[in-house]
Structure 1
Amino acid sequence: MKQHRRHFLKKLTATSAIAALSPMALEASSQEKSLLTRNFPKSTTELKTIRIGLIGAGGMGVEDTQTALQHPNIALVAVCDLYKGRLDAAKNRWGSQLFVTQDYQELLKRKDVDAVIIGTSDHWHKQISIDALHAGKHVYCEKPMVHSVKEGKDVIDAWKKSGKVMIVGSQGVSSLGNEKAKELLAQGAIGDIVYAEGFWARMSPEGAWQYALPKDGNEQMVDWKRYISNTNQLSWDPLRFFRWRNYLDYGTGMSGDLFVHLFSSLHFITDSYGPTKISAMGGLRYWKDGREVPDVLLGSFDYPDTPQHPGFNLSLRCNFVDGTSGTTYLRIVGTKGSMDVKWEEVVVKMNQSLASDDPYLQEQARLRGESQARASILPPKELVYTAERSWKGAHYDHFGNWFEAIRTGGTVAEDPEFGFRAAAPALLCNDSYFQNKFITWDPVTMQLI
């Protein structure tokens, strides 16, 4: 019989499980407590400078690079993008000394590039990651790690052979919120996990991938032939280049963009390898702009009983027609309570009666002639953990994890195996939607069944 962590958790009493949340857990019915921050090396004199190259200088690539450069002893030396306008913008932003190119292979040949950030459209993640690893570069690849599940093994094999450090860019994995939720779940704070749900909502055009088209975004400024060289050969279309997330040849829809974040966080918190059964439904409800992917997507996932966790179910929702807010959350529900997990906050809600409140036990005490027990001070039913104001955020820490691993030969929180196990159910969610069927998956061997 499998020995589950929950076998240990069941030994905890109600009081000890609640007390595990905080050494001051008996002080109030609701309280707020800061999360600990982590510290990266403060001395920059002994840190070797890591020279990076950016491949894909769009919105996320720029944000990644700006975050990376906040760390000490990081230097940007080269930028690649297929749109010349972004290369000009890179020089204006980071200096005219930058080497710029529309051919990523030219960047990979440079000996002054130690590591690369890959912020391209999804359909180039696999090949650029493999080529960068073969060229001896460390890799930070935006999520999802691959464009389809059939690409995962090739990237993992290339990473293992390279000896280089590769991290996938689901930044929440390095968040203080996820780390605290992982700790609390292991302590038995909410009992055994039985269900989880996640939600991501957007409404604005930019949030729904209707990115602005540059005035000079024409075929003379974009290397369109290189862009489509590994997919269907189509005539120039600025929408398919600048709003690539809307099209299956280049993007992975709502699940590849957003569900993958929720999978990454859930798998980190629970130590899960992933679900075995996947289903999805949804539709194109509002953004009828020629896109090929839905703007409302619902996913259901079955997680099996494993040595890491008991079996549970997951429900994910994504809505680009949200008329209320830009809500995002991950909720983990257990036998004793629940946790609402955000990158900077964890809210623990308890729903457990103490033994003294049990009418059966009270009647037993009365029959034994025992006097009324003295009233007890109750532990809190809700605890709110928040990050210290000095925290620089999950994005900053994710890069810190990568840089530290490069310098020390260490490991990262989201290596390619973890990254693929988070990407696979998101990509298979698309397959379920478009093929109108259940998908079965082996998350251990990372293979379709």
Structure 2
Amino acid sequence: MKNNRRKFLKNLGLAGAATAVTPAILAKEAVHEQGRRIAYLNRPGLLSEEKTLKLALIGAGGMGSADLNTALQHDNIEVVAVCDLYDGRLDKAKEKWGDHLFLTKDYKEVLKRKDVDAVIIGTPDHWHKQISIDALNAGKHAYCEKPMVHSVDEGHELIRAWKKSGKIYMVGSQGLSSLGNEKARQLLAEGAIGDINYAEGLWARHSPQGAWQYAIPGDASEKTVDWDRYISNAPKQPFDPLRFFRWRNYLDYGTGMSGDLFVHLFSSLHFITNSNGPQKISAMGGLRYWKDGREVPDVLLGIFDYPETEQHPGFDLSLRCNFVDGTSGSTYLKLVGSKGSMNITWTDVTLKRNNHVEEDSFLKEKAKEMGGYEGRKKILPPTETVYQAEKGYKGAHYDHFANFFRAIRHGGTVVEDPVFAFRAAAPALLCNDSYFQNKYINWDPVKMKVI
């Protein structure tokens, strides 16, 4: 497996100098399997003197609004239009972002505007693919929330539209742009934990809102919500505010716990390991607590088999989601190798290594010269090292948008384009197929097809 690590280092541009790599160099030039560069994500003032980019937000709910707020923290970014199907969100948009905004319930009106350079797509999952394709065809750059598609069948169509468009398309699994992931990628490439053989990830939530129990506005009705447009690409249903405001609970619009949360863990794992994804997928779980009419489990376990490739040894992955967590909730990704392990969050990495030192013949001879003796104790390296983001770090979400805006302005590429994003989304979405069909799913991570 040393060969695999050597090839991985070569792909990163680190071969022959692994031990000399610094975090600054890695942050400057981290490269994933297509040879892309994540360049200068945190460089202050890089964009300050450049042309103003004009954005439109399509889907002004919680995540869409958070995306726009983060985007507006960057220099020379302006929002000119907002689209949403609920009157209350359009009214709030003017309060938050200004009276100058063009407001509409028809996203196609946004795409016709010549003053829109890029769109942020924060709609429910069942609209991601079509709005993305329409935006690319209209000549707009696009930032779309994960999981990019509502079903695996939609992936290749969107990838083709992106390639044809020549536009920048970024998917919003923001954590993969974090300092934590960059450091973990470096440490793995340098062999800090040896050869990876197992990984695990956890998302746990305990608050009602964390279980998708989003508030229902008092004025929710067919007068304030464009229900017909909302379900125009889904099975017909009478108006139901739960299906609109708590859409993640229903398979017609959402993708369950795996599409919401597993996809983040896949994105980070694939970035760190340079992987294309698993070849075998299985899932089980159940509806244990939130028996509120939802169609998806609130406890979900997934097991995934990753084949040996030039990028990494074969390894296994287990993922867990729990919306019935009686504790404070927690999130982490852990990689385990032959020499140690790493616990990874977006802001820190805890490296744990086996407490042993390999025999060094040179040091052994030197010890003899200095009066050493058989059985003399050695000085040992630390078994646990914690790497933490520097104070004032603006976060992965900010960095993700920095990558997006830089690519638009300089004709570059992004870390999470549709190919990378589909390889993270597909195994997450196939978890649902495994769960509901009660069977293993075989997946080709290179051709991106169900076998």
TM-score above 0.5, yes or no: yes
1:447 paired residue number:
449
Deviation at 1:324, TM superposition (A): 1.1
Q: Deviations over 1:250-287 (max 9, x none)?
A: 00000000000000000000000000000000000000
Deviation at 1:390, TM superposition (A): 1.5
Residues 167, 416 of structure 1: 8 Å contact kept:
yes
1:322 paired residue number:
325
**Residue in structure 1 matching 2:415, options 409, 413, 416:** 413
Deviation at 1:371, TM superposition (A): 3.4
1:220 paired residue number:
223
**Structure 1 unaligned residues grouped into runs of 5+:** 10-15, 24-36, 363-369
Equivalents in 2 of 1:129, 1:374: separation in Å? 66
Matches within 5 A, 1:330-369: 330-355=333-358
1:191 paired residue number:
194
Q: Deviations over 1:388-427 (max 9, x none)?
A: 1121000000000000000000010100000000000000
Equivalents in 1 of 2:69, 2:246: separation in Å? 22
Residues 6, 310 of structure 1: 8 Å contact kept:
no
**Residue in structure 2 matching 1:70, options 51, 68, 73:** 73
2:205 paired residue number:
202
**Residue in structure 2 matching 1:121, options 119, 124, 127:** 124
Greater RCO, 1 or 2 (C-alpha within 8 Å, sep 6+) = 1
Residues 282, 440 of structure 2: 8 Å contact kept:
yes
Letter in 2 for 1:77: V
Residues 8, 189 of structure 2: 8 Å contact kept:
no
Secondary structure, in 3 states, of the residue corresponding to 1:116? strand
Closer, same or farther: CA 56–376 of 1 in aligned 2, 3 Å? same
Secondary structure, in 3 states, of the residue corresponding to 2:401? helix
1:266 paired residue number:
269
Residues 348, 387 of structure 2: 8 Å contact kept:
yes
1:96 paired residue number:
99
Deviation at 1:376, TM superposition (A): 2.4
Deviation at 1:337, TM superposition (A): 0.2
Equivalents in 2 of 1:395, 1:42: separation in Å? 17
Q: Normalising by the residue count of structure 1, what TM-score does the alignment of the two structures yield?
A: 0.90
Equivalents in 1 of 2:117, 2:47: separation in Å? 18
Closer, same or farther: CA 61–22 of 1 in aligned 2, 3 Å? closer
Residues 337, 352 of structure 1: 8 Å contact kept:
no
Closer, same or farther: CA 51–428 of 1 in aligned 2, 3 Å? same
Percent of paired sites with the same residue: 72
1:231 paired with 2:234, answer yes
Equivalents in 1 of 2:435, 2:355: separation in Å? 39
1:246 paired residue number:
249
**Structure 2 unaligned residues grouped into runs of 5+:** 10-15, 24-39, 365-371
Matched length: 421
Equivalents in 1 of 2:63, 2:409: separation in Å? 25
Closer, same or farther: CA 145–100 of 1 in aligned 2, 3 Å? same
Letter in 2 for 1:411: T
1:158 paired with 2:194, answer no
Equivalents in 1 of 2:168, 2:349: separation in Å? 30
**Residue in structure 1 matching 2:53, options 36, 44, 50:** 50
Residues 87, 100 of structure 1: 8 Å contact kept:
yes
Equivalents in 1 of 2:298, 2:119: separation in Å? 32
1:176 paired with 2:176, answer no
Letter in 1 for 2:304: F
**Residue in structure 2 matching 1:111, options 106, 111, 114:** 114
Deviation at 1:46, TM superposition (A): 2.9
Residues 133, 162 of structure 2: 8 Å contact kept:
yes
Equivalents in 2 of 1:19, 1:45: separation in Å? 35
**Residue in structure 2 matching 1:280, options 262, 280, 283:** 283
Equivalents in 1 of 2:373, 2:168: separation in Å? 66
Matches within 5 A, 1:6-17: none
Letter in 2 for 1:441: W
Equivalents in 2 of 1:139, 1:196: separation in Å? 32
Q: Deviations over 1:101-127 (max 9, x none)?
A: 000000000000000000000000000
Equivalents in 1 of 2:151, 2:209: separation in Å? 25
Matches within 5 A, 1:349-428: 349-355=352-358, 371-372=373-374, 374-428=376-430
Residues 17, 187 of structure 1: 8 Å contact kept:
no
Secondary structure, in 3 states, of the residue corresponding to 2:92? helix
Equivalents in 2 of 1:98, 1:376: separation in Å? 68
Deviation at 1:351, TM superposition (A): 1.1
Secondary structure, in 3 states, of the residue corresponding to 1:207? helix
Residues 145, 172 of structure 2: 8 Å contact kept:
yes
Residues 201, 334 of structure 2: 8 Å contact kept:
yes
1:30 paired residue number:
none
Equivalents in 1 of 2:199, 2:341: separation in Å? 9
Secondary structure, in 3 states, of the residue corresponding to 1:260? helix
Moved over 4 A (4+): 6-9, 16-23
Secondary structure, in 3 states, of the residue corresponding to 1:100? strand
Secondary structure, in 3 states, of the residue corresponding to 1:4? helix
1:4 paired residue number:
4
1:300 paired with 2:303, answer yes
Residues 143, 170 of structure 1: 8 Å contact kept:
yes
